[in-house]
């Protein structure tokens, strides 16, 4: 074949479930020449990155660092380190990523109990309590921000509940870190994983994790080796800890990116960051409702950063998304699993949570839906959003 030309991708606005657009400062950071992965200056940057990550997670956990792979690797890393064959685990499933957790845990020899909730809804603590009492699992896994439905699971009281039954609480914060409140220590979360390509405005490639003292103790008490060498935290922590022992070659550029994404987060401040996401969500929501779109997640538990809405009857999912992409340069997400062909997912994450993006997607959606025969009062979406911003 002839050699492909110079990299020259079309300009896109990534308003799907992630990856989201990378902040320009992060893009610049990635063009920085490498340090060696054992260079004293790089080890210093690792410490800085870890501390900013702890602050982002609101934790003092020593075992806090990024796994050298994408978010789903963080899920696998947490599960294979906490679970040994025969251990009991409860997975609370209310969407695609809960199902994913079942798939991953199913390969560890865990004795699995699955709690199902309707897609778009969240779990009631009493249901979980009953299951914990009956099963007494070693680990309970639950998704904080279910990216497939846009449902926002309350976690505040869950750690305390799990600890009553000597259960470790594992949460999936892939879509929540950097977007909505997340208090690992206060909430008593024992293990958490996330990603870089959503709230942190970096590209995909790392999965920041954190383990509590309880989770570290479980790790120390293992009778068997962790089934994955690459994800074995008992070894990886010797590189991220004071030993700095070689395990694998750290993805230096991605750590440059994460460091910059975390600097941006803390320059803005966690509270202002969360407030910004909420404000832009409320404006988008007002606009979406004004053009006749309703959320798939239950009222009161809707994620600000991931707005999943039902596709109106008779509207062609793919045709609309294709028009958004080619004509407006906007990517939004389609539905996953049960919601395939039935939902659109509009992300306003990190750098992308901005009023101009809200206005743009509302204007574009109005054009596309009107073109598909949906009756919309012209300009209704943008006007409704503006009303929210002007208070």
CB of 98 to a copy of itself, least distance (A): 14
Q: Are 180 and 164 in contact (CB under 8 A)?
A: no
CB of 243 to a copy of itself, least distance (A): 14
Q: For a copy of itself, which is the closer residue by CB, 283 or 303?
A: 303
Angle at 255 between CA 97 and CA 249, to 5 degrees: 95
Q: For a copy of itself, which is the closer residue by CB, 295 or 351?
A: 351
- Give 326's DSSP letter: H
Q: For a copy of itself, which is the closer residue by CB, 26 or 155?
A: 26
Q: For a copy of itself, which is the closer residue by CB, 131 or 196?
A: 196
CB of 266 to a copy of itself, least distance (A): 5
- Give 295's DSSP letter: B
Query: What is the distance between the alpha carbons of residues 181 and 271, in angstroms, rounded to a whole number?
Result: 8
In the beta sheet, which residues pair with residue 91? 114, 141
Query: What is the distance between the alpha carbons of residues 354 and 196, in angstroms, rounded to a whole number?
Result: 19
Q: Are 149 and 339 in contact (CB under 8 A)?
A: yes
In the β-sheet with 64-67, what is the strand arrangement from edge to edge? 64-67, 207-211, 191-193, 168-172, 139-143, 88-93, 111-116
CB of 25 to a copy of itself, least distance (A): 9
Q: For a copy of itself, which is the closer residue by CB, 67 or 283?
A: 67
* b/e code 44-81 from CB counts within 10 Å (16+ = b): ebbeebbebbbebbbbebbbbbbbbbbbbbbbbbbbbb
* Three-state DSSP class for residue 302: strand
CB of 252 to a copy of itself, least distance (A): 6
Cis peptide before 165 (omega within 30 of 0): no
Q: Are 172 and 75 in contact (CB under 8 A)?
A: yes
Q: For a copy of itself, which is the closer residue by CB, 37 or 281?
A: 37
**Residue 268: which H helix or E strand, with range?**
helix 252-268
CB of 170 to a copy of itself, least distance (A): 15
Q: For a copy of itself, which is the closer residue by CB, 19 or 188?
A: 19
In the beta sheet, which residues pair with residue 330? 13
CB of 361 to a copy of itself, least distance (A): 15
CB of 68 to a copy of itself, least distance (A): 6
Query: What is the distance between the alpha carbons of residues 286 and 391, in angstroms, rounded to a whole number?
Result: 12
Question: Between the CA of residue 63 and those of 11, 15, 43, what are the distances in Å?
Answer: 38, 32, 16
The token duo for 235 is 């070894």
- Give 108's DSSP letter: T
Q: For a copy of itself, which is the closer residue by CB, 104 or 288?
A: 104
CB of 83 to a copy of itself, least distance (A): 12
Q: For a copy of itself, which is the closer residue by CB, 220 or 318?
A: 318
């Amino acid at each position: 074949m002839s050699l492909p030309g110079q990299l020259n991708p079309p300009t896109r606005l990534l308003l799907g479930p992630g990856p989201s657009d990378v902040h320009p400062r992060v893009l610049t950071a990635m063009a920085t020449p490498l340090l060696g992965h054992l260079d004293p200056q790089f080890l210093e940057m690792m410490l800085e990155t870890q501390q900013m990550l702890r602050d982002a997670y609101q934790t003092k956990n020593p075992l806090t660092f990024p796994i050298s792979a994408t978010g789903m690797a963080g899920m696998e890393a947490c599960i294979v380190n906490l679970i040994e064959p025969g251990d009991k685990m409860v997975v609370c499933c209310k969407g695609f990523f809960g199902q994913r957790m079942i798939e991953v845990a199913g390969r560890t020899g865990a004795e699995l109990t699955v709690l199902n909730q309707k897609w778009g809804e969240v779990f009631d603590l009493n249901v979980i309590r009953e299951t914990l009492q009956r099963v007494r699992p070693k680990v309970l896994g639950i998704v904080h921000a279910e990216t497939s439905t846009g449902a926002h699971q309350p976690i505040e009281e869950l750690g305390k509940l799990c600890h009553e039954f000597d259960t470790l609480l594992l949460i999936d914060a892939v879509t929540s870190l950097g977007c909505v409140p997340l208090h690992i220590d206060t909430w008593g979360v024992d293990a958490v994983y996330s990603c870089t390509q959503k709230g942190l405005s970096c590209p995909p490639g790392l999965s920041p994790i954190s383990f509590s003292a309880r989770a570290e103790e479980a790790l120390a008490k293992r009778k068997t080796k962790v089934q994955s060498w690459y994800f074995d935290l008992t070894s990886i922590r010797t590189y991220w800890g004071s030993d700095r022992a070689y395990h694998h070659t750290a993805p230096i550029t991605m750590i440059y990116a994460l460091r910059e994404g975390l600097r941006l987060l803390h320059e803005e401040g966690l509270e202002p960051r969360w407030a910004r996401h909420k404000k832009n969500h409320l404006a988008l929501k007002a606009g979406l409702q004004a053009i006749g779109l309703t959320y798939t997640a239950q009222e009161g538990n809707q994620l600000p950063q991931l707005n999943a809405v039902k596709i109106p009857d008779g509207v062609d999912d793919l045709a609309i998304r294709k028009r958004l992409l080619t004509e407006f340069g906007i990517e939004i997400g389609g539905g996953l699993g049960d919601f395939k062909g039935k939902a659109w997912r509009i992300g306003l994450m990190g750098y992308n949570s901005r009023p101009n993006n809200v206005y743009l997607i509302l204007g574009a959606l109005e054009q596309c839906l009107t073109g598909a025969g949906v009756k919309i009062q012209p300009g209704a979406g943008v006007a409704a959003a503006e009303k929210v911003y002007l208070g």
